């Protein structure tokens, strides 16, 4: 094939050995001037460009960050890590760094892939995602001297404050607390939490925000709050069923704060089906589904998460990995506060149509920006 | 920093020059055996691993494919290229190839980045996305000998069948035709198309599928079809307004085939608001929004698109780029047929609730799997 010229092409053209070409590139001062000129002429004529690879070989720096690409998720919130990847890639580019993707079907396979990346000097550092309690990957990276920063707390281990373990995460508790406070500010008090089953660090963290806000301001007792604390797997249909049970058991319910937009969509559907669309619903992740249906939601700012990750890894400027131990314990992590995006619900309600044949069409139940267009 | 050992570290440890280390790695036969043993011992002791970078430098092969990461899109269909990226990365990994991401804010900046990737031998080939009429990027790649395959037809140019220009695309016309045929099979004939304004190759292609099916089977005249051919930008609110106008102008309308799920969501909302939820709506892209709301939609199989792209670039197996000109004209592109995913609508309707205070709750208008749970 046509392809790029190689060291061998240059060597042949200049009539020298490949080692001489390599010497001209890496240590020109040890090559006789006449030979050097012949080689540089051949390099110029062929358009041979050794820059990146030669530099990589000499310096062991790749100006590249490795990020695992997770299998695609079809759920409503499945694009969160993709949004993080976009943000990391765009911010890394502003520092002259590229992102190399790798795949793995589990922690062990990922560690094998990390070993290959390290052995090949393919990456300078790793951005780890989807951390879990007892994460074997972060231990391997630490032991093998491959710098990394994690998106996600090291759940359940005591190196939360270790300066060796850099991480950035979103403060889910603060986000859910904002949502609950927003409803409490409106005078609502009977506010439920539709969360994930316990044992998920992220889900428990988000529940804490609701519990703290409600304990501080709702006037409800712990026993009353327990009745408003409901669990569902992250599935629209199951969330709808759980919300329906909750709405039937709690006729006075005023609002549901949800652990995800999937749960919020299920809750919205259940409320509308039971003619309870007065019940306010707030989701988490601010997905396109929430935006399209007018569901308020807590947004994780992926640009801030990515910026925090790169700052921890590289310092506030530049493209070189900060030596480990260069950070104090308190500087080794960043907790990003999410923000609540408030929307007016756009129910798929029937509204009076100009051509309606019904003699007494029901009035619209609720004003919203979209309803005004009808 | 700790970091990885460099050539200099090895040279120092072995008491030789960096060039000698390089010679041991690249041409061990020209190094005296005693020196060679000292260097290999130092390499072993330090854990120095020259594999990938040295090989890359020698062979100009990176075992890496470059893919541009587009700015994140927040729309309902914004994740399509992310799904393609996932599929390419996972399939490339099975061939021992990695994916390197790059960014660019426009074609000129992208060409500059492509030049850097080529100059650094950072990638063996490019997978181009978001092709457009008169695409300057594909011309640059062809002229500069960087192999590539495009996801997207070279709209409007006559090298559609050139074996030099590899591309894979989804047959949008065939997908929309499936949707229209599905409705025609049910005896519906007054089926509208809610499309994008003309001049978008992709949108016009999809419209063709509706037009061909309707011309063949609906019994409607071209004039009648023109009245059912409606345009909207890809925005839920604008699509809702356009669909509302259409529904008011066409009281006998039975169905709307849509160019996207955004348009389909708008059409569904308009139909429900006008009490016309008997109007069938079909979208395109099979997004999480369509799945969550029970909207039928045409699915683009990104795994098939990615497999087609890699087959064209690399042949059916292996990881080496197929020489250009190695393919006959008819073999240089792949058109993937999408498939229709049929769903029952899950309207956010009010339904009779056990605790309803209304004396005569209206019956549910339509049976669907979800309604059965109420």
Q: Give the model's pLDDT for residue B349.
A: 45
Does ipTM surpass 0.95 in this model?
no
Instruction: Indicate left, alpha or beta for B18 from its phi (over 0: left) and psi (-120 to 50: alpha).
Output: alpha
Query: Which residues in chain B (296-315) have CB-CB distances under 8 A to chain A?
Result: 302
Structural domains of chain B in order of their starting residue, each with its CATH number? 64-171+302-337 (3.40.50.2300), 173-299+341-347 (3.40.50.2300)
Q: What is the mean pLDDT of chain A?
A: 83
Task: Give tens-digit pLDDT for B283-326.
Answer: 999 988 888 888 999 999 999 999 999 999 998 877 788 776 66
3-state helix/strand/coil string of chain B: CCCCCCHHHHHHHHCCCHHHHHHHHHCHHHCCHHHHHHHHHHHHHHCCCCHHHHHHHHHCCCCEEEEECCCCCCCCCCCHHHHHHHHHHHHHHHCCCEEEEECCCCHHHHHHHHHHHHHCCCCCEEEECCCCCCCHHHHHHHHCCCCEEEECCCCCCCCCCCCCCEEEEECHHHHHHHHHHHHHHCCCCCEEEEECCCCCHHHHHHHHHHHHHHHHHCCCCHHHHHHCEEECCCCHHHHHHHHHHHHHHCCCCCEEEECCHHHHHHHHHHHHHCCCCCCEEEEECCCHHHHHHCCEEEECCHHHHHHHHHHHHHCCCCCCCCCCCCCCHHHCEEEECCEEECCCCCCCCCCCCCCCCCCCCCCCCCCCCCHHHC
> What 3-state class would DSSP assign to A255?
strand
Name the token pair of A171: 């403060």
Residue ranges of chain B with per-residue pLDDT less than 50: 1-2, 347-374
The arithmetic mean of pLDDT across residues A181-209, rounded, is: 92
Q: Give the model's pLDDT for residue B2.
A: 43
Q: Give the model's pLDDT for residue B344.
A: 81
Subunit contact B324:A373, Cβ cutoff 8 A: no
Subunit contact A19:B27, Cβ cutoff 8 A: yes
Subunit contact B58:A347, Cβ cutoff 8 A: no
Q: What is the DSSP string of A30-88?
A: GS-HHHHHHHHHHHHHHT---HHHHHHHHH---SEEEEEPPPP--STTTTHHHHHHHHH
Which residue of chain A comes nearest to B290, CA vs CA? A289
pTM above 0.90, yes or no: no
Q: Establish if A122 touches chain B: CB-CB under 8 angstroms.
A: yes
Task: Give tens-digit pLDDT for A231-280.
Answer: 999 888 899 999 999 999 999 999 999 999 999 999 998 998 899 989 99
Q: Establish if B95 touches chain A: CB-CB under 8 angstroms.
A: no
Name the token pair of B154: 């070279």
Q: What is the rounded CA–CA span in Å between residue B121 and residue A9?
A: 15
Q: Give the model's pLDDT for residue B48.
A: 72
Question: Which chain B residues are closer than 8 Å to A60 by Cβ?
Answer: 3-6, 53
Q: What angle do CA B245, B250, B256 make, to 5 degrees?
A: 80
In chain A, DSSP assigns E strands to: 64-68, 98-102, 125-129, 148-151, 166-170, 191-195, 229-231, 255-258, 280-284, 296-299, 333-336, 339-341
The arithmetic mean of pLDDT across residues A133-155, rounded, is: 88
Tell me if A256 sits within 8 A of A192, measured CB to CB: yes
Q: Give the model's pLDDT for residue A216.
A: 98
Tell me if B127 sits within 8 A of B121, measured CB to CB: no
Q: Give the model's pLDDT for residue A332.
A: 85
Query: Which residues in chain B (260-299) have CB-CB distances under 8 A to chain A?
Result: 262, 265, 268-269, 272-276, 287-289, 291-292
Quickly state the pLDDT bin for A372 (edges 50, 70, 90). Answer: very low
């Amino acid at each position: 094939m046509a392809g790029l010229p190689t060291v061998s092409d240059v060597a042949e053209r200049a009539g020298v050995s490949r080692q001489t070409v390599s010497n001209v590139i890496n240590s020109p001062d040890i090559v006789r001037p006449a030979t050097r000129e012949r080689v540089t002429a051949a390099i110029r004529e062929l358009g041979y460009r050794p820059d990146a690879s030669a530099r990589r070989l000499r310096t062991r720096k790749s100006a590249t960050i490795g990020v695992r690409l997770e299998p695609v998720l079809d759920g409503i919130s499945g694009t969160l890590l993709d949004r993080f990847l976009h943000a990391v890639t765009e911010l890394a580019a502003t520092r002259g760094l590229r992102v190399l993707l790798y795949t793995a079907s589990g922690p062990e396979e990922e560690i094998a892939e990390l070993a290959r990346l390290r052995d090949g000097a393919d990456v300078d550092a790793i951005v780890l995602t989807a951390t879990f309690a007892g994460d074997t990957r972060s231990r391997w990276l630490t032991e093998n001297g491959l710098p990394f920063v994690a998106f996600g707390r090291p759940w359940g281990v005591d190196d939360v404050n270790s300066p060796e373990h850099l991480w950035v995460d979103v403060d889910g508790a603060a986000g859910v607390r904002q949502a609950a406070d927003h409803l409490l500010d409106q005078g609502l008090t009977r506010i439920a939490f539709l969360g994930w089953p316990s044992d998920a660090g992220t889900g428990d963290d988000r529940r804490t925000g609701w519990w703290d806000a409600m304990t501080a301001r709702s006037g409800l007792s712990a026993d009353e709050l327990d009745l408003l604390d409901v669990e569902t797997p992250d599935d629209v249909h199951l969330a709808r069923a759980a919300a329906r049970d909750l709405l039937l058991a709690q006729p006075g319910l005023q609002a549901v704060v949800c652990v995800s937009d999937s749960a919020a969509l299920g809750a919205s559907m259940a409320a509308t089906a039971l003619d309870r669309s007065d019940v306010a619903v707030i989701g988490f992740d601010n997905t396109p589904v929430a935006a399209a249906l007018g569901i308020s939601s807590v947004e994780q700012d992926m640009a801030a998460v990515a910026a925090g990750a790169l700052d921890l890894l590289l310092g506030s400027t530049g493209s070189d990995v900060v030596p480990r131990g260069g950070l104090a314990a308190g500087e080794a992590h960043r907790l990003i506060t999410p923000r609540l995006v408030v929307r007016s619900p756009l129910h798929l309600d029937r509204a009076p149509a100009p051509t309606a044949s019904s003699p007494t069409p029901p009035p619209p139940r609720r004003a919203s920006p979209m309803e005004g267009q009808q």
